[in-house]
Structure 1
């Protein structure tokens, strides 16, 4: 009786052991896949949608403006209170929707693959992960590259589970070639494959000596390589692995362009969007009128064109060399032009732009400015000086006063002339009247001429084009260090979070500066609200001794003034040419219309004559018979 019992007990224990061996890895796989390998979608910000645009006043600053646009978008994404809408996507709704659909398709395929892997259906899992990889490759890889890398890792894991070790090693080598820091979890790879990964990773990092030259036509573009922002084209990248890298190019007014490129030269041609011409015209208007009402009107039109309720605009100015950029930043409500935020600041160029612009950009998104008596707050003057309209009113009033004075002295001169005619000739009184009359007449002539000139100039400045100073009584902030950057990165859209900027790009300054600033940043609590951005107490500028300009500086200033005068002259000539071309076009259209009307009238008359000819004539007999 013991032997059958022992056999049954052994069979039960064996079945239980086999079941535990099968359930253990499955449970581990389920936990890891659901917590680490599924693409995580961060919650989108609940605030209003904001598009960022940077406008260079000088065309030579176009690359610097594009770079500043990227860091401003990062500031909006970090704020947690605003939802970023990349301007390129806003102007290309159809293309953005297609890329979004591919990202959603990749997420769904990845989820199906993870589920099949949990159920030990590795054949179906491999098909799903391969579908996810292909879908992610057609999405926006400036955001979706981390998801593409994870999908390729799971594809390799599934190939290992299917016994396709050679194919898995090829896939792992391809992943490490473009993402050397990709994670391969031991829960999905046996020790020998993990050893292969570490060996291949070391080889890729040691052999990362390739150089890639990225060029774009017809305009510069933001360059993302393997999902990481690298700068603005034309751009030379060094220290890359020798592999086909994923290159994504972004420029407002042009479609997002993606491709693969190895070391050497890579040239890309960007495709214009249908709205590119209108977008370029709005940017040109802002660049020509960076400090008056025309700027805000153009920004409102740009917001309507992009379909966003707010626009974060950065007007970029800069001198020669490596001098810091002067940036005027404002965040505008498109509906009524209210400036939700406004700030002026200096931003360094090059690699220091990421950290040097952080305080200014964070201040623009930290909080909203209140309206004054229910009216929108606007800022038209950059330096607090006299505005165009105010100067026009002053000149107009001065001209009126001079005209009145000229008329008065003219009447006095006429009166002296009448008295001179009645006075005895040759007397002292006649000589006095003659001298005084000439003086009054001269003063009258000068007053009338100057009054007409002043009144004309004042009328032009005050009424020809609306401009002016700030309509807000609140002082504009003038410092760029009023708010600490938010710590938590937030999502920009529902399907794909924007990866935060790489630490290397954000910690470019010298190690001493980082060592001094990092503890302070870490000591600040994460939930501490940023200090107010608006209405700072006025601080008088520190008195500085006047410095005499050197000869080189005077020559540079004179050269700059000559270039500015030449630019204004060229713009005026261009405007006159455009007016002339428009006038000729209108005259030609009118002439064609007159000729067409004349031709139609002649055709109508000819038709009537032909009808008259064809109509039979009635003789007298016909008339009598009738």
Structure 2
């Protein structure tokens, strides 16, 4: 090789080497959040469309420090789903506690019917009957979910007081007014139902409540943090201090997925509540642990799909939250997943501040998750398993890759130098000092070339594994399809449509469905060996056997669910027939009482 050509090659290789050395740090410093700017949330409608997809929210803490923040973030995500106006929220706590939810809804329906009956009786001037109905409505709403129905309870108390005033029970009416105002100082008392002297008493009591002695509560729960509501208002995640309360017995409601809703009245001081797990709590724990074990792998989406099937919803909005020690922002991997095929309707990575800034700091990320649905690619579901919640592994992988390529380039360079020295040695006189110098220098260059190439291959292979292998993530977005069979599509269902869980569930329902093993991590291309044909066949047979077992297990669970659904329908039909019979008997009794009651003339009405 001529000296001019050697110098040209040296210059080209040197420039290439310098450029490659800059690749790793530059790639590692690329901000991930540059692609995460969400679109503004459109104006929310009052109610979701009838055909809206049912969505449940689950927050999974990836470390112990993030448990409370994850629960608070789940509450904000539920509000975002409700505000979207295009999705129907199914609270995970309600979906997993079908029996408790059905009982609370029955009490709520009973109270609502009592309110209607009380209003009719009041309009017909039968105030004694109205008082009975309104009192029944109060008791019914007290057994409902007061995190959602406290306003109706306050209205029932107001109408109960109005009936007492009409019956001349002024002392009882004033006591009821005090109770209603102590729990809800904003309660409305209409002059259509209360005479002027009672309206004066109402305003006097309202002022006394607002300026009187205050009390406080400290609510804690075991074994998990829970959403805390006091008199229907969300107050935070337990343990939480609730101040500026009136001196009265307040309704404390705590809600946590996998546990029965707990509700009781407390006046002041420490309130410690132990939550009772429901039958589905074990399945919830299993699926969340599987998702947390590898939060950047197909196993995450597989577990979320199983959780969606368990909850009876069509979509799952999942938040995987990593906190760490100190006050550093939360690192969040968020996705909205279609249960039928695992398609990610929305996906985002980002950070959320802790403490007081969590609410405002999470709105943009949550709005991105509920504002629009991502299209499928070629009719196939899109999934995201790259990026993760931590960039450390990816950064190291990029640096090792760049270092490996640089070492390879250096090895090639010194190999060419060794080859050039070998050619010069052959042309020089063998017994000259120049020949010995060329021989020694050529051996040194050859040794450096061999070492550089070997180290470069090892470094590039390790870097590629860290940057692109399962869980490492290497690009702004990676799309793939989970290598597991899709569960049967689940129709959209509101909480009241969830089939009841029997007291003694069959074994197939008590145990969580088996999860297929996660795909093996990909080794570097330079070290991966092609498996033999017999091994491939054995693996395929084993995979088919697992899929067949899983399919049979799901068919058995589906059959049992259908049986439970049929049994529930029969029970509801029987209850409806019984209720109809009671209604007819009540109507006949009223007709008989009406025939016996003397008619009121105009003078009687004026005197009343």
1:182-218 C-alpha deviation (Å, 9 max, x unpaired): 1111111111111111111111111242111111111
Equivalent in 353, 365, 369 of residue 358 of structure 2: 353
Equivalent in 270, 273, 278 of residue 268 of structure 1: 273
Are the structure 2 counterparts of residues 326 and 299 from structure 1 closer, same or farther at C-alpha, using a change threshold of 3 Å? same
Question: In the alignment, what sits opposite 1:49?
Answer: 54
CA–CA separation in structure 2 for the residues paired with 1:465 and 1:353: 27
CA–CA separation in structure 2 for the residues paired with 1:202 and 1:233: 31
Equivalent in 205, 208, 214 of residue 210 of structure 2: 205
Cα pair 1:48 1:83 within 8 Å, conserved: yes
1:310-336 C-alpha deviation (Å, 9 max, x unpaired): 111222234554444343322111222
Cα pair 1:378 1:471 within 8 Å, conserved: no
CA–CA separation in structure 1 for the residues paired with 2:105 and 2:80: 22
Question: In the alignment, what sits opposite 2:230?
Answer: 225
Which residues in structure 2 correspond to 1:429-508 (within 5 Å)? none
CA–CA separation in structure 1 for the residues paired with 2:141 and 2:127: 21
The alignment's TM-score, normalised by the length of structure 2, stands at 0.60
Question: In the alignment, what sits opposite 1:62?
Answer: 67
Per-residue deviation, 1:158: 0.9
Equivalent in 118, 123, 145 of residue 113 of structure 1: 118
Given the alignment of the two structures, is residue 297 of structure 1 paired with residue 306 of structure 2, yes or no? Answer: no
Equivalent in 368, 384, 387 of residue 381 of structure 1: 387
CA–CA separation in structure 1 for the residues paired with 2:229 and 2:382: 37
Question: In the alignment, what sits opposite 1:314?
Answer: 319
| SS at structure 2 position matched to 1:182 | coil
| SS at structure 1 position matched to 2:236 | strand
Question: In the alignment, what sits opposite 2:160?
Answer: 155
Cα pair 1:51 1:312 within 8 Å, conserved: yes
Question: In the alignment, what sits opposite 2:103?
Answer: 98
Question: In the alignment, what sits opposite 1:569?
Answer: none
Are the structure 2 counterparts of residues 364 and 49 from structure 1 closer, same or farther at C-alpha, using a change threshold of 3 Å? same
Question: In the alignment, what sits opposite 1:192?
Answer: 197
CA–CA separation in structure 2 for the residues paired with 1:142 and 1:226: 7
Cα pair 2:397 2:462 within 8 Å, conserved: no
Are the structure 2 counterparts of residues 450 and 78 from structure 1 closer, same or farther at C-alpha, using a change threshold of 3 Å? closer
Cα pair 2:346 2:373 within 8 Å, conserved: yes
1:6-28 C-alpha deviation (Å, 9 max, x unpaired): xxxxxxxxxxxxxxxxxxxxxxx
Are the structure 2 counterparts of residues 470 and 255 from structure 1 closer, same or farther at C-alpha, using a change threshold of 3 Å? farther
Are the structure 2 counterparts of residues 447 and 343 from structure 1 closer, same or farther at C-alpha, using a change threshold of 3 Å? closer
CA–CA separation in structure 1 for the residues paired with 2:452 and 2:147: 68
CA–CA separation in structure 2 for the residues paired with 1:219 and 1:457: 40
CA–CA separation in structure 2 for the residues paired with 1:450 and 1:338: 39
Question: In the alignment, what sits opposite 1:412?
Answer: none
Equivalent in 272, 285, 288 of residue 283 of structure 1: 288
Cα pair 2:94 2:495 within 8 Å, conserved: no
Cα pair 1:311 1:334 within 8 Å, conserved: yes
Are the structure 2 counterparts of residues 494 and 302 from structure 1 closer, same or farther at C-alpha, using a change threshold of 3 Å? closer
1:101-143 C-alpha deviation (Å, 9 max, x unpaired): 2111111111111111111111221111111111111111100
1:550-608 C-alpha deviation (Å, 9 max, x unpaired): xxxxxxxxxxxxxxxxxxxxxxxxxxxxxxxxxxxxxxxxxxxxxxxxxxxxxxxxxxx
Structure 1 gaps, min length 5: 1-41, 410-427, 475-491, 496-626
CA RMSD of aligned residues (A): 4.3
Question: In the alignment, what sits opposite 2:340?
Answer: 335
Cα pair 2:387 2:477 within 8 Å, conserved: no
Structure 2 gaps, min length 5: 1-45, 416-433, 481-493, 498-608
Q: What is the number of residues matched between the two proteins?
A: 428
The alignment's TM-score, normalised by the length of structure 1, stands at 0.58
CA–CA separation in structure 1 for the residues paired with 2:210 and 2:474: 58
CA–CA separation in structure 1 for the residues paired with 2:380 and 2:163: 62
Are the structure 2 counterparts of residues 116 and 103 from structure 1 closer, same or farther at C-alpha, using a change threshold of 3 Å? same
Q: Which moved more, 1:450-459 or 1:355-364?
A: 450-459
Cα pair 1:253 1:276 within 8 Å, conserved: yes
Question: In the alignment, what sits opposite 2:372?
Answer: 367
Question: In the alignment, what sits opposite 2:78?
Answer: 73
Give the structure, 1 or 2, with the largest relative contact order (CA under 8 Å, sep 6 or more). 2
Cα pair 2:388 2:471 within 8 Å, conserved: no
CA–CA separation in structure 1 for the residues paired with 2:161 and 2:55: 39
Cα pair 1:285 1:295 within 8 Å, conserved: yes
CA–CA separation in structure 2 for the residues paired with 1:465 and 1:351: 32
1:341-394 C-alpha deviation (Å, 9 max, x unpaired): 223344333334333323332232111111222222222314897998x969x9
CA–CA separation in structure 2 for the residues paired with 1:55 and 1:151: 39
Are the structure 2 counterparts of residues 466 and 434 from structure 1 closer, same or farther at C-alpha, using a change threshold of 3 Å? closer
Question: In the alignment, what sits opposite 1:165?
Answer: 170
Cα pair 2:338 2:344 within 8 Å, conserved: yes
Question: In the alignment, what sits opposite 2:580?
Answer: none
CA–CA separation in structure 1 for the residues paired with 2:474 and 2:222: 38
Are the structure 2 counterparts of residues 265 and 140 from structure 1 closer, same or farther at C-alpha, using a change threshold of 3 Å? same
CA–CA separation in structure 2 for the residues paired with 1:45 and 1:256: 28
